[in-house]
Amino acid sequence: MDEDFEGRGVPVRIATSAAFMIVVLIHLVGQIFASSSIVTEGSQVLLMPVLAAVLWTGTTSPRGRLVVMAFVALFFSWVGDTLPRFLDGETGFAAMIAGFLIAQVFYVVAFWPYRHQSILRQPLLVIPYAVAAAVLVAICFDGAGELAVPVILYALVIAAMAVLATGLGPVATTGGIIFIISDALIALRAFAGFELPGHSFWVMLTYILGQSLLISAVEAKVAVEPNPSPR
């Protein structure tokens, strides 16, 4: 741990992890009972900063490229969570897409050095990701209107993120797939009129789980390979 945390690293780590679980619980319970409440809105804004604190206390100094890029991805995820609360209608939705698109780009940059350990070594395994992205775009294209191009770009980038995440192992692989599911649920509701019972709950559950698994995989990777050289 950092020198500041020396001697108390484990308690700090436990505290940040507990704080994250509490915020998650508050948010998901809020989604079940009152998805537009102040508590639910406020807890969503806290999710990514507290997850960033978990990452900080779960890694050591000096933090390498992978961790730094993960922090930036979490920051822009927070932007995607937060900006729509200050903007109206389509402008707010576009801001959300922009925030998460940039976040996914930084995840792609973070995972790129591990591409030789990913399913890119076996191109046939990439096909399901490409098919999923293509099907989602096909379903949502007509309803996307002026956002059609950003939606296509976002589908390509998140599919790339999920493919490259496989280079960090099964935890990141699962996180990438779940993240795709979360974004697919958002797109299907916004552009295709598809909505599950308790739709917002499932969006947020998969979003939180996807992000958490990716960050857990980052922590595990740097624990065994602290400063990989970009290749």
Angle between helical axes of 170-192 and 89-111 (0-180°, round to 10): 160
Contact 93, 143 (CB under 8 A): no
Q: Which two tokens stand for residue 174?
A: 């699962």
Helix (H) or strand (E) holding 111: helix 89-111
- List, in order, residues 6 or more apart from 169 with CB less than 8 Å away: 217, 220, 221
Distance CA 183, CA 6 (A): 39
If pLDDT is split at 50, 70 and 90, which confidence band does 37 have?
Answer: confident
Give residue 176's identity as a one-letter amino acid code: G
Contact 178, 163 (CB under 8 A): no
Helix (H) or strand (E) holding 75: helix 65-82
Q: Which of 67, 78, 70, 49 is nearest to 2 (CA)?
A: 67
Q: What angle do CA 106, 55, 129 make, to 5 degrees?
A: 40
Total count of residues recorded for the chain: 231
Which pTM value belongs to this model? Answer: 0.92
The gap from C-alpha 48 to its chain's centroid, in whole angstroms, comes to: 9
Please give the pLDDT value at position 89.
Answer: 81
- What CA dihedral angle connects 198, 204, 207 and 211, to 10 degrees? -150
Higher-confidence residue: 225 or 72? 72
Please give the pLDDT value at position 172.
Answer: 98
Q: Could you read off the pLDDT of 136-182 as tens digits, one per residue? A: 999 999 999 989 999 999 999 999 999 999 999 999 999 999 999 99
